[in-house]
Structure 1
Amino acid sequence: MTALLSLLPSRKAGLAADAEPPALLAVGHGSRDARHAAAMRRLAEAVTAARPELRMEVGFLDLCGPDVPGALGSLVASGARSVAVLPLFLAHGYHVRHDVPRAVAGALAEIRAWGGWTPDVTFCDPLGPDPLLSEAMDARLREAGIWPTDPRLGLIVASAGSSDAAALAQVEAVARSWGGADNAYAAAAPTTAQAIARLRARGWEDVAVASYFLAPGRLPDRVHADCIEAGVPFGAPLITPDREPSAELVRLVLARYASATLASSARNLAA
């Protein structure tokens, strides 16, 4: 980060006044699993392929890099005057409300301390919940040979789980929107194994598990292990490093970006 900060444009020098779209900083949780960061980078590549004029970086809160100061510093060093911050989370939980804003504030403070140009920052809504995520989950199941609308299929939506009641309610609503699918959690009860056993006890012979995980990591692997042990098919996480992100996810990222930047422009005009 030190070498990068030395390249930041100074406040005195300023930046070119050419009108350009805000840059996009996507902030993920992070994982020690290398597939996690690789999947997020794959998503960024797909987004910038759809919008080549958009400068985008991915930063992580913990466990892998680049961190948020490094990712934001890269955007500022490239000349970004304004940045939209997109939390790569599937619900409005604690990370979205507290950790992401705190990490961005800390990054801005580092840039300011080095005398760099501090960009205008606006925050996007997190990725979830959104109907496009359900479409992406549906696509992952179909890739695994599962037809989610089959009335003979007992369906489970597996997610990480959360101690945040509001975030948990949003995840439970996703399952309800799928015609009353059951919920299972990697870090809480009912676990995937328990949810599968309950469906079978209610008479469902065919059961499948949809993955409400954004990217690979320890928790989705835990769910996958339960599915393998029970002989139940499992949809892959929404983004993986070995396949192209779904068009629904790219559309969702760009929709979140557009909403935030339009709202920011409206506020600036009204000021």
Structure 2
Amino acid sequence: MTALITLSHGSRKPGAAAGIERLTQATGVRPARAAHLEFNRPDLTTAALELAQLGETDAIVVPLLFTQGYHQRVDVPRALADASQAAHLSLHLTAGLGTGEDVARVLASRTRSGDSHVVIYSVGSSDTAANDAIRELAHRTFALTSVPTTVEFATRGGREGIVSFCREYSDPARVRVIPLFVTEGLLLDRLAGVSATVDRPLGTDLAGLVVDRFRQARNAAQEVFVPC
């Protein structure tokens, strides 16, 4: 049986790792481990070693990342190589969560009939393409909901942008902020006290997406070429 490892960025926020664990368990895949690139334990190598000790020979790693930023392009492959070598486990890397239609559907499911505007609150990146991908996600979400949808980046004045935006509405509570966060984080704490309605992190709403990535990778690994 192929194991699952979810791989998050990690956070200094107490309780953030527990959110990743809940998501991992919500997938229903067994055995499964939650791992983190930094700040939290276990890291990917430790999670792979734990599975190897259970007798597992291969595992699928699903990065819980939304864009093709530095972590996805550099940190994840490096962690995968280190873990595979240390645990002598065959590790198969899937695409990250991304910003496609399936993520847009998750965001759309968070909207309510009384919402006047939706703000996707994302971490933000030094990579312009990564930020543009989040803006495209906002367009996809709008196409599903018909509720005007924009983006604010936490590391680029996101809180101030939301506060300013809320002043344009007589009832700012009808502005819904949907965090593009898998779990709790210090950047999400910055929104404390804003007059908009701030949703919880996406958490276990993403379980179906993780399972989809897992199954696609498992099926690809199991494909056998049969000569005609």
2:89 is the alignment partner of 1:123: no
CA contact (8 A) 1:27 1:86 kept: yes
Aligned residues: 221
Equivalent residues in 2 for 1:141-180, closer than 5 Å? 141=111, 147=112, 150=114, 153-179=116-142, 180=148
What CA RMSD, in Å, does the superposition of the two structures yield over aligned residues? Answer: 2.4
Distance 1:202 1:44 in 2: 38
Q: Deviations over 1:154-178 (max 9, x none)?
A: 2211111111222212111111123
Distance 1:155 1:220 in 2: 16
Letter in 1 for 2:217: A
Distance 1:207 1:196 in 2: 10
Q: What TM-score, normalized to structure 2?
A: 0.86
* Counterpart position of 1:4: none
Deviation at 1:108, TM superposition (A): 2.4
Equivalent residues in 2 for 1:24-173, closer than 5 Å? 24-48=4-28, 51=29, 54-111=30-87, 118-141=88-111, 147=112, 150=114, 153-173=116-136
Q: Which has the larger radius of gyration?
A: 1
Distance 1:84 1:183 in 2: 31
Instruction: Structure 2 unaligned segments of length 5 or more: list them.
Output: 143-147
SS in 1 for 2:130: helix
Letter in 1 for 2:140: S
Identity value in percent: 27
The counterpart of 1:233, out of the listed 172, 190, 197, is 197
Distance 2:109 2:139 in 1: 18
Distance 1:168 1:121 in 2: 29
CA contact (8 A) 2:21 2:34 kept: yes
Distance 1:173 1:59 in 2: 29
CA contact (8 A) 2:5 2:59 kept: yes
* Counterpart position of 2:160: 193
* Counterpart position of 1:254: 211
Deviation at 1:130, TM superposition (A): 3.2
CA contact (8 A) 2:5 2:62 kept: yes
CA contact (8 A) 2:105 2:141 kept: no
Deviation at 1:46, TM superposition (A): 1.1
Q: Deviations over 1:129-170 (max 9, x none)?
A: 2333333334445xxxxx1x54x6022111111112222121
SS in 2 for 1:259: helix
Change (3 A) 1:176 1:200: farther
* Counterpart position of 1:17: none
2:150 is the alignment partner of 1:182: yes
* Counterpart position of 2:145: none
Distance 1:85 1:269 in 2: 24
Letter in 1 for 2:151: N
2:228 is the alignment partner of 1:265: no
Q: What TM-score, normalized to structure 1?
A: 0.74
CA contact (8 A) 1:196 1:207 kept: no
CA contact (8 A) 2:4 2:32 kept: yes
